[in-house]
Structure formats: C-alpha cells, structure tokens
Amino acid sequence: QLRLVESGGGLVQPGGSLRLSCAASGRTVSDLTMGWFRQGPGKERSFVARMNWSGGTIYGPDSPKGRFIISRDIDKNTFYLQMNSLKPEDTAVYYCAANIKGWGAGVSEYDFWGQGTQVTVSA
C-alpha cells in the first residue's frame, strides 16, 4: 500500500519561501504521476502542480512555473514543491497525491493522498 507523508509547512511572511516534501513508502513512485493540491479555508481542493513519470510538469492557474516548482528525488522516493514569493492567498493545507492510472490534474483522478501540511502566509 502506497503511503504519502507531507512535511515542510509552516508560517511564513509574504514574499517568503517554503519547500514542501512528500515522502512515499510502500512502492516506488518514479513511474507514477505525482501531484500537489491545496485547499484554502472555505474553498475546494484545487490543483497546484504535477509531474509525470518522464518528468513532465504542468502547473495550475494559481501556481505558474517560476513561483512554484515541482521536483523529485528518485533515489529518495520523494517529491517536492518549492514555493517562492508566497502571498497570503497561498494559505492552505497542501496535499501530495499519486495518480496510478494516468497523468491528469483532476482531484478525482488521484488514488492516494497524504494527510496534508498547513501553509500559512501572514505578516
């Protein structure tokens, strides 16, 4: 059974940076599509970024590449989300997830989820 554990969240000032980690166990994830999602207060869970098995990436409308960057360390079976120039509206619980069947970006397409890590952007 695949298990995903996020870490790296916390409180950061506007304009600051954080790097979230998603450690996978139970099976290798280098051949899967791995995604990051977030859910802000009172909002639905939304797509942030994903990386497929070949390293191809796409980003959601609120996370253009350059501000958020998804990456992976195959040897560590771990995915990352580097978040730069953070804004208060980036405040949310961030989740990593694994899509074992495809490479889409929809929430319903992902089969395994971590427990989430809270990111709060505030002065």
Give residue-wise pLDDT tens across range 3-49.
999 999 999 999 999 999 999 999 999 999 999 999 999 999 999 99
Residue 57's closest CA among 80, 26, 85, 24? 80
Q: pLDDT band at residue 104, thresholds of 50, 70 and 90?
A: confident
In the beta sheet, which residues pair with residue 25?
3
CB 87 within 8 A of CB 13: no
Mean of the per-residue pLDDT values of the chain: 94
3-state secondary structure of 32: coil
* Cβ-proximal residues to 61 (8 Å cutoff; 6+ apart), any chain: none
**pLDDT of amino acid 70:** 96
Q: What is the mean pLDDT of residues 88-108?
A: 93
| 113 sits in which H/E element | strand 112-113
Q: pLDDT band at residue 65, thresholds of 50, 70 and 90?
A: low
- Tokens of residue 6, six digits: 């996020």
